[in-house]
Amino acid sequence: MNTEHLNSLSLDELWILHQQVTASLTQKILVQKARLEERLHMIGSADEVRRFDRKRRPYPPVRPKYRNPKNPAETWSGRGRLPRWLRPQLRGGRKLDDFLIEKASVHKRQSN
């Protein structure tokens, strides 16, 4: 559009032009959105059929590697976040290897 033409328009005429452009853009956006939602619905329904047919692979259970010496019922597999019982002990200077379950059983076997 010619900028000289826009500069020659009054404030009221510019405002009317702004409203017309906004209305036109809103209408075009709604039409595009409806088309995209229709396509997404078609794609989504096809994906849902495939998604529910697929079974997850069974994962073996993860055995715990670390045990809290103060409360032997508290264990950790070494995956994910550090457990609450382990954080302060590591900050206190102890090593993660101090809490290994195998290490405790090896010491018991060696002492017998």
* Tens digits of residue pLDDT in 30-75: 999 999 999 888 887 655 655 566 677 888 889 999 999 999 999 9
Are 63 and 77 spatial neighbours (Cβ–Cβ below 8 Å)? yes
**Cα pseudo-dihedral 85, 87, 88, 93, rounded to 10:** 120
CA dist 11 and 34 (Å) reads 35
Are 65 and 80 spatial neighbours (Cβ–Cβ below 8 Å)? no
pLDDT over threshold 60, residue 112: no
Domain boundaries, the chain: 3-53, 66-111
Q: What pTM was computed for the model?
A: 0.43
Q: Where are the alpha helices (DSSP H) in the chain?
A: 3-8, 11-53, 87-91, 101-111
In the structure encoding, which two tokens stand for residue 22, read together?
A: 């906004």
